[in-house]
Amino acid sequence: MSDPTAAVRGRHAGDATLVPWPGGHDLCSSTVDTLRAEPQSDDVTLLLARTRSLSADQVASWRFPSDPAVVSRARTLAVRQLTRWGLENLAESTELIVSELFTNAIIHGNSDSGSDRTIGLRLIRHEVLTCEVSDASHSHPLVRHPRTTDEHGRGLFLVSQLSRRWGTRHIPDGKLIWADQQLPASA
């Protein structure tokens, strides 16, 4: 039996048709007026979503084998892309973020699955510069607090210090770790 809160006048939310955005206020008013026309026997859920698409020149993405030898190639491609975008002043911090996230993906990221041993890298230039690294693991990364004598365990701490914010998003084939950096005012 389906959930009655997902049905409106016999239609399920999944049956909705995507329509062009007429404007938030007009759409809300029209929807509320329609809902008021009939008494409701249960709660009503209204979801309005507006997505923005990015142009191809705002996104750069690559796939790499899960191999430590390609970390330098990932850094080089990221810096080259930043140069194309005129964001050379973010090259040093982005290079370190790419290096740390990519290395973590190699060490920790593909242990759940023997099938997809590739790592994705994507840079997105929009309101911020977003660096995303994806791998086949579903494990959640943890920021460690190593002692001063420890040789490892500082990667995500460094990412957190260099980025405005960072996080993890689970995707069907694993996880994606992202870090946002503030764009310069001139960008």
The model's pLDDT over 106-158, given as tens digits with 9 standing for 90+, comes to: 887 765 555 568 899 999 999 999 999 999 888 777 666 666 665 665 677 78
33, pLDDT greater than 50: yes
Mean pLDDT (the chain, rounded) = 79
Instruction: Delimit the CATH 3.30.565.10 region(s) of the chain.
Output: 56-182
DSSP, collapsed to helix, strand or coil, labels residue 12 as: strand
- Residues in the chain, how many? 187
pLDDT at 16: 47
> Residue 59's closest CA among 93, 31, 27, 84?
84
pLDDT at 19: 46
pTM greater than 0.85 (yes/no): no
> Residue 83's closest CA among 134, 132, 125?
125
* Contact present, 133 and 67 (Cβ < 8 Å): no
Fold of 56-182: Heat Shock Protein 90 (3.30.565)
